[in-house]
Amino acid sequence: MECEKMRRREFLVQGSAAAAGVALLNNPLLARAFPTRPGEEVISWADQPPPVPPAASEVVKDLPRWEDLDSWLTPNNRFFNVAHYDRPAIDANTWSLDVTGLVRRPQSFALDELKKLPRKEVVFTLECAGNHGFPWFPTGVGTAKWVGTPLAPILDRAQVLDRGIEVVFFGSDAGEEVVRDIKMRQNFARSMSLADAMSPENLLAYEMNGAPLPAVNGFPLRLIAPGWYGIANVKWLKRIEVRDTRYMGRFMARDYVTIREEERGGQKIWVESSVGRALVKSAAARVTRQNGRYRIVGMAWGAPIARVEVRIDGGGWVPAAIDQSDNAPYAWKPWSFDWPNPAGGEHAITSRAIDAAGNVQPAPDDPRIAGKHTYWESNAQVVRRVRI
């Protein structure tokens, strides 16, 4: 019942794209991934994540349970949220967005002015780069239909000067930062090269799944940068500034920095890189049982997905059925794997996604993962345990 309601809501949300909605409803794989079949039960994972520790519980909120996943779009009230400073409550009537810095014509927009500009939507799976970096953090990922106006024409309208190479996105939220005893109150900020910022995919988004952005997800406006980790998708946006140097704020250059040991001709070198584009990933979401027959359903995201494979315990990799019908290149893909007659006892279930370029979601002992000393960008194969 509840499940059926969820699906209805999902399809209602897609109402404007009626054709897509119909395609989804008629799609056998999606239909079999989510609805509860008569008599079907969801088996809870044996390896339940521990609670979010107090030190992180103000930053990471509203983590759903994988077992509750029953729709392709994540309903707003089940979407995780991350805030490194405060969660500002913004009055849209007094708010405005400024476009400043190395531009010939600085711009300022009220919310209703932005809403009058061309509307564009994208279904995009947004994942925190810290997701799966800790045992308590397995569901920092969700998919929504975001609506806004494209960023590139706004930068064009502002006329970026030739020496402008970097675009910095400032949020309204702020906190104190200390670097070498220097204390400063800083707004949350992330930057992109001008070329990356001009991607036609980037949106200044004001809607999430058909509703105004919820306060915790960035009301009234956020950047949506499809294909990038969550951190790039600046919420509570208030200023876009074009600069002639790389921006080295906390969330570009100190935090959300991956530190990895790599090998070059037998020598170890240390590489530090700013978290940016998403990486190929998958995870099993739920195991269900109907009439004694089992099924594993999961999601794959982070890159255009070509294949998903599943391994039970120490067995071989077996292809899962994957649903590509959504036609949404930045959205996660549901997959399912029939597991008719598992032996009693505890089992380990591992999935791996392979993207269109042939990148394989790495095993935990892959040098990309094993040489990494920070928890960001943890796209290693996820192992879950279930008791039959």
Ligand X SMILES: Nc1nc2c(c(=O)[nH]1)N[C@H]1C(S)=C(S)[C@@H](COP(=O)(O)O)O[C@H]1N2
Query: From the list 234, 287, 303, 310, which residue makes contact with ligand X (rule: CB under 6 A)?
Result: 234
Token pair 């009220």: residue: 110
Q: Is 333 in the site for ligand X (CB under 6 A)?
A: no
User: Min. distance of Cβ 249 from Mo ion in angstroms?
Assistant: 15
Q: Residue 285 and residue 266: Cα distance in Å, rounded?
A: 40
Total residues at the site for ligand X (CB under 6 A)? 18
Q: Residue 346 and residue 181: Cα distance in Å, rounded?
A: 52
Q: Is 65 in the site for ligand X (CB under 6 A)?
A: no
Q: Residue 248 and residue 272: Cα distance in Å, rounded?
A: 13
Counting Cβ atoms within 10 Å, is residue 180 exposed (0-12), middle (13-18) or buried (19+)?
Answer: exposed
User: Min. distance of Cβ 82 from ligand X in angstroms?
Assistant: 4
Query: From the list 204, 225, 231, 331, which residue makes contact with ligand X (rule: CB under 6 A)?
Result: 231
Stretch that binds ligand X, among 20-28, 76-84, 239-247, 322-330 (CB under 6 A): 76-84
DSSP letters spanning 131-171 = TTSSTT-S--EEEEEEEEEESHHHHHHHTB-TT--EEEEEE
Q: Is 137 in the site for ligand X (CB under 6 A)?
A: no
Query: From the list 24, 82, 213, 287, which residue makes contact with Mo ion (rule: CB under 5 A)?
Result: 82
Closest CA to 349 of 315, 309, 384: 384
Q: Judged by CB, which is closer to ligand X: 101, or 218?
A: 218
User: Min. distance of Cβ 382 from ligand X in angstroms?
Assistant: 18
Name the pairing type of β-strands 166-179 and 222-224: unpaired
Q: Is 83 in the site for ligand X (CB under 6 A)?
A: yes
Q: Judged by CB, which is closer to ligand X: 83, or 103?
A: 83
In sequence order, the 6+-apart residues with CB closer than 8 A to the CB of 353 are: 280, 281, 282, 300, 301, 302, 303, 305, 307, 308, 360, 361
Q: Judged by CB, which is closer to ligand X: 219, or 337?
A: 219
- Binding residues for Mo ion (CB under 5 A): 82, 128, 230-231
- Binding residues for ligand X (CB under 6 A): 79-84, 126, 128, 171, 173, 188, 217, 230-231, 233-236
